[in-house]
Amino acid sequence: MSIQSINPATEEVIETFELFNDTQVQHALDEARTAFLSWRNTSFAERSAALHRVAAYLREHKARLAHIATVEMGKPIVEAEAEVEKCAFNCDFYADNAEKFLADESVKANATESYVAFRPLGVVLALMPWNFPYWQVFRFAAPALMAGNTAVLKHASNVSRAALEIERVFHDCGLPHGAFRTVLVPGAETRPLIEDSRIAAITLTGSEEAGIAVASASGHVLKKNVLELGGSDAFIVLEDADLDAAAQTAVRARFQNTGQSCIAAKRFIIVASVLEEFVQKFVEAAAQLRIGDPLNRATQIGPMARGDLRESLEQQLQASVKLGAKVVLGGKRVAGKGFFFEPTIVTGVTTDMSLFREETFGPVAAVISARDTEHAVELANDSIFGLGGNLWTRNIERGRALARRLESGGVFINGMTASDPRLPFGGVKRSGYGRELASFGIREFVNIQTVWIGPTVSPTTTAPSE
């Protein structure tokens, strides 16, 4: 059996890959487990040196790696290069900070000495999506490897070349053979991988449906998992907001990566008193976006990654229009080859429409009118998702107070939601559980081990004076 990479800008087959047979899969798992047994015994200094080499490699080969992402999933080349740079930054960040994040923590108890240590779990299985083919992987891999784990990647099939290149990066930078392995297998073979005794834990970035399947399979064999799932982030604009800044940011927040991002702003909840003015500014700014060949450095909107994804987006849009939503910008396919869809803004969206209720994964922005601040918060929380969100107000203390009431893993006040290695990333509700990045992310795939050293010391005993 084989899988194909198809250029979404031209609909041409780029490359065909033979799927791994069972012998190849078993060999990869064996190598990852064997590598773990040695890698866990390396020092933080050795791991840090390796991750710094990875960061340097990514920067040196940025153009080639970015080109692969662009032709496989359609990301504009400038954004693809920025993605590779971000991966390098993440590697450097964990190379510099992992030892501090995982340092033993002394605890006063009834022991002569007691402390908490953070030990690696083993081989982590990563199930990753196509929309950020490098970042999603390095976001988990850098902290997991610095903690002493090894990894097996099952990437989305349409970015198989990127998946193999990631394995090559770690190999060429001198990590132990097998420390990072890629397996090319269909989705149907995910469960056997999860259940394999050589896999210690699982991390998934994907859809709500994929999260349910992975959580079920992981639970069946009692394995730790972290799920970063879909989102329908609210972008709240209050009456005292800087509308020019909000509108400019709204364009990037919705249409970056051609709208194919779990943390993209999707539901634009605008207080009624500034709705008309905001929409005018939003439409004017979005209308300037340049659609075209994603390899052209001037292009800001490339094709969607697959034809079926474009069809799903069209269905969500058409269903909402039938219920009374109004398209004020775009709204249709771009003629010719490629899975292109115009940047689209829709007003009059209500809570019974699919553009409000479902995650929209593409360049369509849904604008919802809120009566006032209280109604805006109510609308924002009226979702099964809770990944991130934006809040625009000139009153920062008011923003802090409202952030406490927003049901999401992140709240960005007067700025665009983005993942950052220095900050924890993840969601609540059906956006998943667990956290990536920062100190929280590196501690997801460790054994939090209590070490107690006797003899017992009476609570009233004090150390003798000198």
Q: pLDDT in tens for each of the 466 residues of the chain? A: 899 999 999 999 999 999 999 999 999 999 999 999 999 999 999 999 999 999 999 999 999 999 999 999 999 999 999 999 999 999 999 999 999 999 999 999 999 999 999 999 999 999 999 999 999 999 999 999 999 999 999 999 999 999 999 999 999 999 999 999 999 999 989 999 999 999 999 999 999 999 999 999 999 999 999 999 999 999 999 999 999 999 999 999 999 999 999 999 999 999 999 999 999 999 999 999 999 999 999 999 999 999 999 999 999 999 999 999 999 999 999 999 999 999 999 999 999 999 999 999 999 999 999 999 999 999 999 999 999 999 999 999 999 999 999 999 999 999 999 999 999 999 999 999 999 999 999 999 999 999 999 999 976 555 444 4
Residues 94, 239 within the same domain: no
Is the domain of 269 the same as that of 174?
Answer: no
CB 139 within 8 A of CB 129: no
On whether both 131 and 267 belong to a single domain, the answer is no
Asked if 255 and 211 sit in the same domain, the reply is no
Answer yes or no: do 108 and 213 share one domain.
Answer: yes
344 falls within a domain: yes
Domain shared by 35 and 136, yes or no: yes
Domain shared by 181 and 319, yes or no: no
Catalytic residue among 228, 342, 358, 407: 228
Q: Is residue 294 within 8 Å of 69, Cβ to Cβ?
A: no
Q: Do the beta carbons of residue 99 and residue 117 sit within 8 Å? A: no
Per-residue pLDDT at 1:
86
Q: Is residue 142 part of a domain?
A: yes
Residue 28's CATH number: 3.40.605.10
| Centroid of chain to Cα 415 | 18
Place of tokens 């210690």: 200
Cβ atoms of 410 and 387 closer than 8 Å: yes
The answer to whether position 421 is within a domain reads no
Beta bridge partners of 329: 345
Q: Which pLDDT score is estimated for 459? A: 62
The two tokens of residue 143 are 């902290």
- What is the model's pLDDT at position 463? 47
Domain with 256 in it: 233-413
CA of 444: how far to CAs of 54, 103, 379, in Å?
22, 15, 32
Closest by CA to 151, choosing from 131, 133, 178, is 178
Under 8 Å between Cβ of 263 and 417: yes
Give yes or no: 173 in active site: no
Assess if residue 458 is contained within a domain.
no
Total residue length of the chain:
466
- Check which CATH number belongs to the domain holding 256 and give it: 3.40.309.10
| DSSP element (H, E) containing 466 | none
Catalytic residue among 91, 167, 262, 342: 262
Q: Note the pLDDT of residue 203.
A: 98
371: three-class secondary structure by DSSP: coil
Q: Please tell me whether residues 263 and 191 are part of one structural domain.
A: no
70 and 215 within one domain:
yes
Domain shared by 301 and 160, yes or no: no
Count of domains forming the chain: 2
**Angstrom distance (rounded) from CA 263 to CA 260:** 9
One domain for residues 399 and 307: yes
Kindly give, in sequence order, each residue whose CB lies less than 8 Å from that of residue 206, ignoring residues fewer than 6 positions away: 127, 128, 129, 214, 228, 229
Q: Please tell me whether residues 214 and 360 are part of one structural domain.
A: no
* In-domain check, residue 158: yes
Q: Is residue 426 part of a domain?
A: no
Q: Is residue 137 part of a domain?
A: yes
Clarify whether 378 is annotated catalytic.
no
